Amino acid sequence: MSRPAVIPVHLIAGGFPPGSAAGHDMNYARQRLLGMLGENPEIYTTVSNDYADIERWLPNSRLLITYVAGPYPDAEQNQFIRNWIDRGGRWIALHGTSGGKAARVGTHRRQMVKGAYHDTLGSFFLNHPPVRKFRVEIADTADPITKGLPPSFEVPDELYLIELQHPETSRILLTTYMPSDPSPAGFGFVYERDTSLLSDGKTRVLGYSHTIGKGGVAYIALGHCHSPTNNVQPFVDSSVAPSGKTPLTFRGSWEVPEFERLLQNAIEWGTSPLPV
């Protein structure tokens, strides 16, 4: 009997500086993703903490998954990833992948710096208000990544403000309603203009996919989690905790069945054979 073909997947989960959790429970997110990947016995997963050795693992991989807070590919690594996608690779990017390098603004504030990899990824992180509950709307029910999901669902999470880099060619999958950034004065990252709003002035994208050559990228902004040893949230919205006190352990969307289904769908999309 012949053995089934192996589906190689590379997972990057880690913070910056190297070895840092960077405000996220990287162990938890890594274990959850490995558990989902392990549901398919044909998948073999390699794991890294950042993009430093991407050229070693990516050539033989069908799918790249990233859950990072700080690490980002430099110009050479980005071009390597882009070429790999162009040849048919697929990239599932989660949560903080849309961030990266932050520059100091004054004494206590920071502003995200747009890099070449944001063009490949298809989005750029601006800011997020304090952790809150919000409703996620399914913008494209026909897409394989959103199959089986209800028209909308509620999550407690960081509501990311992301600027689409290719709005005209991106397939919008998830959105939410939020006309203005409710962040308190001095909270979060500095940005010059809120470019995360769609043309209606009230809708923001939380998930999308776009094509590069024979391959593609799917980004999902949801997924914040932390534990007592890596929590850096100063406070949360009253919709999560009436007192505003940050829960020491927070799993957010990871405990919402619809988010798990979303990730399972994305993995299936990312590991499925390319169309002939």
Inside any domain, residue 57: yes
Measured distance CA(219)–CA(217) in Å, rounded = 7
pLDDT greater than 90 at residue 5: no
Question: Is the residue at 2 inside a domain?
Answer: no
Would the pLDDT of 1 be above 80? no
Instruction: Write down the pLDDT at residue 162.
Output: 98
Residues of the chain above pLDDT 90, percent: 94
Buried/exposed 2-33: b ≥16 CB within 10 Å, e otherwise: eeeeebbbbbbbbbbeeebbbbbbbebbbebb
Q: Which stretches does DSSP call E strand in the chain? A: 7-15, 43-48, 63-69, 90-94, 102-105, 109-112, 123-127, 132-138, 152-157, 161-164, 171-177, 203-212, 215-220
Q: What percent of the chain has pLDDT over 70?
A: 98
**The pLDDT value given to residue 4:** 73
Mean pLDDT of 99-108: 90
Residue 276 lies in a domain: no
Residue 38 clears pLDDT 80, i.e. is over it: yes
Q: How far apart are CA 76 and CA 81, in angstroms?
A: 9
Domain of 84, CATH number, reads 3.40.50.880
Is 198 domain-assigned?
Answer: yes
Domain membership flag for residue 66: yes
Q: Mean pLDDT across the stretch 105-132?
A: 95
> Hey, what amino acid is at 9?
V
Structural domain tally of the chain?
1
Looking at the whole model, is its pTM more than 0.95? yes
Residue 3 has pLDDT above 80, yes or no: no
Task: Please provide the DSSP assignment of 55-92 as one string.
Answer: HHHGGG-SEEEEEEES----HHHHHHHHHHHHTT-EEE
Integer-rounded Cα Rg, in Å, for the chain is 18
Is residue 129 in some structural domain? Answer: yes
The Cα 60–Cα 57 span in angstroms is: 6
pLDDT surpassing 60 at residue 276: no
- The total number of residues written for the chain in this structure: 276
At residue 49, the pLDDT reads: 97
State which amino acid sits at residue 43. I
Residue 125: φ, ψ to 5°: -75, 130
Does 191 reside within a domain?
Answer: yes
Per-chain mean pLDDT for the chain:
96
Quick check: helix, strand or coil at residue 163? strand
Residue 114 lies in a domain: yes
Q: How many angstroms from the chain centroid is the CA of residue 133?
A: 18
Range of the domain at 203: 7-271
Residue 200 pLDDT exceeds 70: yes
Mean pLDDT value across residues 42-66:
97
Query: How large is the average pLDDT for residues 242-268?
Result: 97
Element (H, E) at 121: helix 116-121
Residue 16 has pLDDT above 80, yes or no: yes
Residues 224-254 pLDDT 10s: 999 999 999 999 999 999 999 999 999 999 9
Whole-number pLDDT of residue 103: 93
The β-bridge partners of 102 are: 112
DSSP 8-state class, residue 115: -
